[in-house]
Structure 1
Amino acid sequence: PLLCDGRLTCFLFPLLLLLRAPLLFSFGERTCPNSCRCEGKTIHCDSSGFLEVPENISVGCQGLSLRYNELHTLLPYQFAHLGQLLWIYLDHNQISVVDSRAFQGVRRLKELILSSNRIASLHNSTFHGVPNLRSLDLSYNKLEILQPGQFHGLRKLQNLHLRSNGLSNIPIRAFLECRSLEFLDLGYNRIKALTRTTFLGLQRLMELHLEHNQFSRINFFLFPRLANLRSLYLQWNRIRVVNQGLPWTWYTLQKLDLSGNEIQTLDPAVFHCLPNLQVLNLESNKLSNVSQEAVTAWISLTTISLAGNIWDCGVGICPLVAWLRNFRGSKDTTMICSSPKHLQGEKIMEVTRNHGICEENDYFMTETPSPMPELISDATAEPTFASTSCSPTTPPTSTFGPLPPFRLRPIPHPTYPGHMSKDTRNTAIRTRPTLISPPVMEHMALHK
């Protein structure tokens, strides 16, 4: 201290500040673990060979990525000191043990990625401490069962990924509290059957993946509670039969993928109850023909895929051929005859025209193409049930005119190579059919 103007003045104070500055700055800095990259409030510790979660992570961290490491176990309260976390990426590790309290203390967490690990089981309370989750990814693990109440309390969850595990069944009311769920992926598992309560509570679900499982038959009456579903993926199962069960009208479904199954016959009742279906994939099944009743029910399709079936190019193929000639949407141009033997490998549309298998008629639209319609409102539409018929209250307006009857002709043996007619599909005017709105009806509850 020095005297200045008769007062004790701390001239050394600025010097003391300079001496203490490095210490002050070190306290103010956010710590960044070795081998990690820190950007603001996010920390990336990917591909760094970590055997456990680093300890010196800033308490203000909001995003933590530990992808592609060697983590094996998640301990109790593993992230409790990081209460500000909004997302954690733990995929592509060797995690096989997850303590039921591993995620306690991170209630703000919105996204949790645990895919591509070795998790074989999870306690039913594992996710009870993260009620604000929006996205949960458990795909590519070894889960064989889901515990009752596994997703209890996840009322804000919007996306749930369970693809590529070993699940063989789904517990009753497993998703009951996932009332905000919009996307559910159960593909690539071993599920053989569903019940009417499997999807109870999923009123907002828009996309459901059930491909690459072990279903042998599908009854659409399993899905009436999915009143907002837009897309259903059932490809590459072992499905031989698809039926409707108790008739009801599914107004919201717009995309249905049944490719890679063993379907031999199409039930017209199924399609009569899907008045707004736009995309239908039936590739790689065992269809030999499609009935007049079935093609008449395809009133709103804009895209259809039919390749890879065992088409019989006899007179039974004529209803499908007549429908395809009038269809102005996206369609296959590679449909091949599997029988009779002398027509094997020939293109269906070409051979039926050149060899006069079906009546050669010109089909015209009976109405002026309408502009792009408005899609169904996002508001949940109640499924409509009927005692004997699932036809809409207001008859749908088809994009096709009435198909004239065709005259059956015997199949002549080819004497020369058929000449492919010019495909005018690209020059045709494409329009999308008017979607049918559900009628106003009183609420009808469905009980088992």
Structure 2
Amino acid sequence: MLGALALILAAAYVFAWLARRVRQPIVVGEIVAGIALGPSVLGLFPGDLVDLAFPADVRPCLQVLAQLGLVLFMFGVGYHFDSSRLKGHGRQVMAVSLSSVALPFALGAGLACATAPWFDRSAMTADGLLVPALFLGAAMSITAFPVLARIIGERGLQQDRIGAMALACAAIQDFLAWTVLAVVVALANSTGAGPLLRMAVASVALLIGLHYVVRPALTWLFAPERRRAGSALTQAVLVVGLLLSAWTTEAIGLHAVFGAFAFGAIVPRARIDATAPQVPERLEQISLFLLPVFFIVTGLSVNLGGLGGPGLLLLLAVLLVACFGKFVGAASAARLTGATQREAAALGVLLNARGLTELVILNVGLALGVLDSRMFTAMVVMAVVTTIMTGPLLDRFHPTAGTLSVHNVEATRTRTAKTDRGLVPSQDDTT
């Protein structure tokens, strides 16, 4: 176990360093490290090195660490989620958001129907095509908001109209895509109308309880006059709360990531930042330490060599659908609502980045049994490719994005590891 963990962290560091050398987000390097340590690369060498590095008795422990890192990550995403981005942005942002969700969703659902004869039904638990089609549509609709914020911050686009629009659109469309995903999870886990209705009622009750009971209680507890409670109590409350929320959503039939995200979104951020700002940062640092384990667990399910001829065609189709759906959906709506051709192209490029958020969703789908291993592999490759291509294409369509001011250069040099990975935008990234 300890040897496997040492290998994971060493590989993650090396590949992250390589990613930064080629001006890519660190998360890209860590995803590639996870694939490299799986059957796609390490498995090609003689001696069954994958099983030697990650024996069967160690993998359940890695799964637990990966799950913990994942819920901590989703808590961080929820904690830094700015709901004000969903309001008052005008018809252009709303049009771009809806179009860049609707087109890739429709194309993804259509792709699922078209490739259904290639599905390995023995690896899937979902019956019929409805759930896989809805899931693939939701997965195609995602934009990696944290990685997008990192890319925009690196290129000094925080105050640029296109950068601000991209962040607002990503927030709206990810909200829509996660809502659809919650419905898909409920459909996949229910056995009829009765269980599905109970799951929906329980989910709504949880959200109401978090907003109207838990949030006021935390606001009272973290009031400035109770600063003497210290960071230890704040940390204990946040950890217990996010784990209980994650457990609750699993118990009602959803995935743990929904509970962790919801708890992060409702905690009184202003109170915590005023009384114990180091606590959320500490939790995010723990998630950054554990996320490479999540990438390895993901990489163990990715086998590029097992794609074969049909798999390569599937991969090409996935890449075309993903890029066409996002780029055309965003760029055409932006163009029709007054953006210049260059601005529309830059917006389409930015919203095409998938990154870590896509891997979170894909792992949910794999665990639910709505994806087979071949489609899972193709979608993981798509997430990596769309993230890698964002920077170079942005330099092509929005040349000023590559020119950072002196202030932004210094800010980039002093950012912490969490913003390098794209987990959350730094303070500069959200201004």
TM bucket (normalised to shorter chain) is under 0.3
TM-score by length of 1: 0.20
Q: Which has the higher contact order (CA 8 A, sep 6+)?
A: 2
